[in-house]
Amino acid sequence: MGGITVGETYRETIFVDAEQTAAWYGNVGVDVAATPALIGMLEMTAVRYMERHIGPDERSVGIRVDVEHLAAAPIGAPVIACVTVSEIDRRRVSFDVEASWDGTVLMRGSHQRAVVDLDKFLKSLPAPLK
């Protein structure tokens, strides 16, 4: 796990599709980006950032999410998911996260990931889940 720097920012643009709407999650008629979809966008942006900084036998796993959903974005909206490293504590990396569309902040908060050895992590699962 090297090269991670506090203050470093990584961004991706993700277009909202029908399977990311509140309607798809069961809130009929609410055809805007759902809270879990925005969280997923932010988490996957952090995953891709981490992939650039960890070893081939390592993965990062999400261990904390604390966000506020502030505004809506329609299907087709290009959402900018932005993660900024805010703290590094041994094998844990904390991020300030923000999703925005057309200059409007949709979601803001924090996210934390831990770096694990993939093989050890999978072997630690209870037997029925392996």
Tokens of 46: 């952090």
Catalytic residue among 13, 21, 35, 84: 35
Q: How far apart are CA 71 and CA 93, in angstroms?
A: 27
Residue 12 appears among annotated catalytic residues: no
Residue 43 appears among annotated catalytic residues: yes
Catalytic residue among 5, 12, 58, 69: 69
**Long-range contacts, stretch 36-40, CB < 8 angstroms, 24+ apart:** 38/67, 38/69, 38/79, 38/99, 38/106, 38/107, 39/65, 39/67, 39/107
Interstrand relation of 104-117 and 92-101 (parallel, antiparallel or unpaired): antiparallel
Catalytic residue among 43, 45, 58, 111: 43
Residue 69 appears among annotated catalytic residues: yes
List residues with catalytic annotation. 35, 43, 69
